Structure 1
Amino acid sequence: MAKEILYRKIASAVEQQIVAQTLKTGDKLPSIRTVQKIYDVSLNTVKQAFLELEGKSLIESRPKSGYYVSKSTGRRLLLPETSKPVLKDKGNHPEDLIIRVFDTMKDKTITQFSLGVPDQSLLPIPKLNKGVLKVIHSMDDSGTGYEPIQGNLNLRRNISRWSFTWGGKLGEQDIVTTSGAMNAIYNCFIAVTKPGDTIALESPVYFGILQIATELGLKIIELPTNPVTGIEIDALKKVLPRIKACCLISNFNNPLGSCMPDEHKKEVVKMLTNYTIPLIEDDLYGDIFFGKKRPAPCKLYDEAGIVMWCGSFSKSLAPGYRVGWVAPGRYKDKIIRQKLLHTISTPPLYQEVIADFMEYGRYDHHLRTLRQKLYTNCLQYQRAIEDYFPENTKITQPQGGFVLWLELEKKIDTAKLFDLAIAQKISFAPGRMFTQHDQFHNCLRLNFALKWDNELDFHLKRLGSMVKLFV
């Protein structure tokens, strides 16, 4: 009886601090051993108290990191609605708006919530620099020669080994290296489409994919997309007879952060296989997950070779290295011919540096640290948005990646809000960038892969105040 009272006493004390906002969403709790010493109780008593708090969804554990105040605690902001793109709309690509946002990169004094790039403080730059020196001295030509067209052998071998983390059975012969994920996606589109063909994409969709499709003269169907589960399967099924290819960000979609359930991935691959429609799968964020295990890509369920699995190290390790890959399945020969035509080969130096980084477990260790920091950042952003933005703001709850999608009041135009924010040295990505249609004007995307501190919290507060001016 005494033990039961003790663990409930501890649980009650923590709960009261959470309710009073002394402990806020995203805050890390003291370790089990620290609480044990404070209350002079057994470890089992503290564990029982934490289990009770977990049962109430007040706290949640993070592997090898500890316990945090749960992001579901006191959540008052709703999720954005499933998108409903107007399929009959002729379409108008927001090129000018994209250029305006990217022009802000020139000003280093601007807080960049807009760009989907991790802050340098989150990257193992000193270790990579040492790797560059090591590789230069170890390579016969110091990295100045041509690589085989298919790409660096060591890197392809390590990428194929890494696929074991999601159950993949890829070999080095299945991988073609590219200059980043966008280069991979571009080559995939050229390999399986021609001008005038129709393709299916998510909505909202990463603007870079829209730019590629527009440049190649492709017609685009944007599919209704749920902020949690991704594209609506029935909507895809209806357009299958009309499309030549499909391109999806299956895990932690940019900008919604949605992650397709395994059942949906299986169904999508099955449907596309039946119609022999290639799926260009952008799995750029798959390794940046906040749960217990990495979600599998659609490629896991591909038995016919129609899935072209694309990825890169730009979001997780080294954006400027521009090292990516594609496992193109039955389209491998076409992809290699495309690569020969456009680049002859990819630069060997940075491929070898990343291969060396992966070879000795440093990449795995880096990812564990990165995930913990990004997860904490995500919680901090969500807490700040709930505190500083209007109460009718809707916000996504991603389980990985590093972008948040906000849906504001209908009358707010985030393109105009962007101009106001830039004048105050704050940048974000207006929602209109992520569609060819006249929609998402009241939405915006925020990058939470920045170094969290009081100044960043203050900038979110300022942005929230600007939003309130438009209400």
Structure 2
Amino acid sequence: MKRYERHADAIAQLIHSGALRPGDRVPSVREASRTRGISPSTVFEAYYLLEAQGLIHARPRSGYYVSARLPGTAEARPAEPLPSQPAATSTGVAISDLVFEVLGLARDRDLVPLGSAFPGLELFPLERLARCLASGMRKLDPWNIVQSLPPGDERLRQQIALRYGVHGTAVDVEEIIITNGAMEALNLCLEAVTQPGDVVVVESPTFYAALQALERLNLQALEIATHPRDGIDLAALAEALERQPPHQPIKACWLMPSFQNPLGSLMPEGKKRELVALLAHHGVPLIEDDVYGELHFGPQRPPPAKAFDTEGLVMHCSSFSKSLAPGYRVGWVAAGRQATAVQRLKLMTTLSAATPSQQALSEYLAQGGYDRHLRALRRSLEQQQAIALAAVAQHFPRGTRVSRPEGGYFLWVELPPPVNALELHRLALQQGISLAPGQIFSADQRFAHCVRINYGHPAQHRLQAALATVGQLATRLAMGAAEHQASPNCY
């Protein structure tokens, strides 16, 4: 397939998936040339081909637009997954063995990484970051190491505080603590506000690393119903806060209000405000996992729950791992009233984050260009999502439901109940494809017919082919289960 045909195919996928709708303007020739790394003449050839197919039309001195009447009919969009219905009681967590098994089987670098937790490395400015890292190493002296002790590199903390302010959230630089990625920030916060045996609220489904953190600290998980579009059910959370017995109250909530992993849900601004007010009323700290907040597809970054915190009860955790520098392991927490406790725990456990990584990111942010990089990253992820949604609609079995996130790079796919996600995961591995089966996203291993799919790797045709294969495998499992149920009983 020629380059112009590949670009035309990408635009056609956006149209057929509904990401580009009739009347929408397609990317200009200049924009497409810049973002896709192809020549303007290649873009023109692609658009001429799409015109011939009746998918787009030109408007004089305005550009190209999606045609009002498309030839044929696009695939019907699958419905959204249903809101979860977790158990009403808290439970101990023993999920790590299954998580280690699943992750251990997916370490082959040649796999199509639909089960990965990271987007493709080609989406990040790694060469420029490497230059910043090299520059910092040349200037490194023992005093830099002392300066990097908790709460962390002062210049980097100031840059982070500035980004909070630019997005409308007032955060004092003194409450920002640099950590080894967001996971350490989240774990330190959890340790600061709980004791073994305490109850912690999580979403249902929730990120498996949150469950592992609860397991490590011998905490009880209380899963709360969560909608794939707008997040945790506040009425169910309010009921749980009232229902818990006085001798075992809820001690913390670990939530992802923006582009939740694995659902991709985004709590509306008003709902985040209600969440913070509800938890403040009960005096319950919120550990806010916000590693995907910068990966929004809309025009503005969704405000974190931290933006509505007036009591210092929200501990906002994030990192650069998903938006700028995977592998640099630099995260942070704006810890509110728990800043001193978290800083002490950091000093007592891992001492400090790596000095060169902190300095490299500080230098990168000071030079400017982060927002330009983010705009390109978001465009790529949004296009990839449209391609993935179209492939799921085309290839997955009848009755499949799929989320439609407004950011991030995950789809939550609910397959027909006869399909077992762990079995599908193992079959996919045999075809060179990794998946994240739903069982690892719940303390009681529910969601057995769901999978999380990562669409954040830009090799378009590889993604499409892998999803077609997974869809065929899922269809075969669903049909096999149906045939088994329909066969006569031999006993």
User: TM bucket by the smaller chain?
Assistant: 0.7 to 0.9
**1:125-164 correspondence to structure 2 within 5 Å:** 125-141=126-142, 147-164=148-165
Render the CA deviation track for 1:45-102: whole Å, top value 9, x for unaligned. Answer: x68x66x95xx9x9xxxxxxxxxxxxx9764200000000022474553323211221
Q: Distance between the aligned counterparts of 1:239 and 1:87, measured in 2? A: 8
Q: Distance in 2 between matches of 1:92 and 1:333?
A: 29
Q: Mapping of 1:310-329 within 5 angstroms?
A: 310-329=317-336
**Of 424, 427, 448, which residue of structure 1 is paired with 2:455?**
448
Give secondary structure in 1 for the equivalent of 2:448.
coil
Q: Which residue of 2 aligns with 1:29?
A: 26
Task: State the 1:166 CA deviation.
Answer: 2.7
Question: What is the aligned partner in structure 1 of residue 61 from structure 2?
Answer: 43
Alignment of 1:456-471 (within 5 A): 456-471=463-478
- The residue aligned with 1:201 is 202
Alignment map for 1:167-186 (pairs within 5 Å): 167-186=168-187
Q: Deviations over 1:306-331 (max 9, x none)?
A: 00000001111122111000001011
For residue 401 of structure 1, the aligned residue among 401, 408, 414 is 408
| Offset at residue 142 of structure 1 (A) | 9.3
Q: Closer, same or farther in 2 for the Cα pair 1:21/1:114, shift >3 Å?
A: closer
Rounded Cα–Cα distance in structure 1 between residues aligned with 2:445 and 2:124? 37
Deviations 1:131-161 (A, max 9, x none): 1111122344496556232100011001011
- CA drift of 1:365 comes to 1.3
Q: Write the deviation string for residues 404-443 of structure 1: whole angstroms up to 9, x where unpaired.
A: 1000001111111111111111110000000012410000
- Per the TM alignment, residue 31 of structure 1 is displaced from its structure 2 partner at its CA by 2.9
Q: What amino acid does structure 2 have at the position aligned with 1:294?
A: R
Per-residue CA deviations over 1:203-258 (Å, capped at 9, x if unaligned) read 00000000001111111110000000100010110122430111110100000000
Measure the CA separation in 1 of the matches of 2:371 and 2:360.
15
Q: Structure 2: 5+ residue runs without aligned partners?
A: 1-8, 31-43, 52-56, 243-248, 479-491
Moved more, 171-180 or 105-114: 105-114
**Aligned in 2, Cα 1:434/1:43: closer, same or farther, shift over 3 Å?**
same
Question: Which residue is 1:428 aligned to?
Answer: 435
- Going from structure 1 to structure 2, the CA distance change for 1:202 and 1:275 (only over 3 Å counts) comes to same
Code of the aligned partner of 1:98: V
Taking the aligned partners of 2:379 and 2:166, their CA distance within structure 1 comes to 18
Following TM superposition, by how much is the alpha carbon of 1:187 offset from its aligned partner in structure 2, in angstroms? 0.4
Shift of 1:32: 8.0
- Taking structure 1 as reference, are residues 21 and 164 closer, same or farther at Cα in structure 2, changes over 3 Å only? closer
| Contact map agreement 1:161 1:171 (CA 8 A) in 2 | no
Task: Return the alpha-carbon distance in structure 1 between the equivalents of residues 332 and 392 of structure 2.
Answer: 36
Query: Does residue 247 in structure 1 map to residue 237 in structure 2?
Result: no
Alignment map for 1:6-405 (pairs within 5 Å): 24-25=16-17, 29=26, 31=28, 42-43=60-61, 75-88=76-89, 90=91, 93-141=94-142, 147-241=148-242, 242-405=249-412
For the structure 1 residues 332 and 390, does the alpha-carbon distance in structure 2 shift closer, same or farther, using more than 3 Å as the test?
A: same
Aligned to 2:40: none
- With over 3 angstroms needed to count, the CA separation of the structure-2 counterparts of 1:32 and 1:436, relative to structure 1, is same
CA distance in 2, matches of 1:130, 1:197: 46
Provide the rounded CA distance (Å) in 2 between the counterparts of 1:22 and 1:459.
18
Structure-2 separation of matches of 1:345 and 1:354: 15
Relative to structure 1, the CA distance from residue 195 to residue 31 in structure 2 (aligned partners, 3 Å threshold; closer, same or farther) is same
- Given that 1:85 and 1:437 are in contact with CA atoms closer than 8 Å, whether structure 2 keeps it comes out as no
Give the drift of 1:360. Answer: 2.0
Of 93-102 and 245-254, more deviation after overlay is shown by: 93-102
Instruction: Give the CA deviation at 1:398.
Output: 0.3
**Could you tell me whether the CA contact under 8 Å between 1:135 and 1:142 is conserved in 2?**
no
CA separation of 1:151/1:90 partners in 2, compared to 1, >3 Å: closer, same or farther? closer
- The one-letter code sitting in structure 2 at the alignment partner of 1:272 is L
- Could you say what secondary structure the match of 1:210 adopts? helix
Equivalent AA in structure 2 for residue 255 of structure 1: P
Alpha-carbon distance in structure 2 between the residues aligned to 1:309 and 1:439: 28
Report if the CA contact (8 A) 1:101-1:427 is conserved. Answer: no
Indicate if the aligned counterparts of 1:131 and 1:357 stay in contact, CA closer than 8 A.
Answer: yes
What SS class does the counterpart of residue 348 from structure 2 fall into?
helix
RMSD, aligned CA: 2.7
CA 1:457–1:219 in 2, change beyond 3 Å: closer, same or farther? same
Q: Which residue of 2 aligns with 1:6?
A: none
SS at match of 1:319: coil
Give the 3-state SS of the residue equivalent to 2:296 in structure 1: coil
C-alpha contact (below 8 Å) 1:257/1:403 kept by paired residues: yes
Q: 1:74 to 1:164 in 2, by over 3 A?
A: farther
Whichever residue aligns with residue 383 of structure 1, its letter is A
Is the 2:90–2:199 Cα contact (8 Å) retained in structure 1?
Answer: no
How far has the Cα of 1:41 moved from its partner?
Answer: 5.5
What amino acid sits opposite 2:444 in the alignment? H
The farther-off stretch of 180-189 and 26-35 is: 26-35
TM-score normalised by the chain length of structure 2: 0.83
Partner of 2:294: helix, strand, or coil?
coil
Match of 2:41 in 1: none
Q: How many residues align?
A: 434
The one-letter code sitting in structure 2 at the alignment partner of 1:103 is G
What is the TM-score of this pair, normalised by structure 1? 0.86
Looking at structure 2, the residues matched to 317 and 32 of structure 1 have their Cα atoms a distance apart, in angstroms, of 27
Amino acid at match of 1:24: H
Instruction: Kindly provide the CA deviation profile for residues 13-42 of structure 1, in whole angstroms up to 9, marking residues without a partner as x.
Output: xxxx99x98953357936389789x98864
Q: Secondary structure at the match of 1:321?
A: coil
- Aligned partners of 2:26 and 2:168: how far apart in 1? 34
The one-letter code matched in structure 2 to 1:219 is Q
Deviations 1:160-182 (A, max 9, x none): 11112431112322211111111
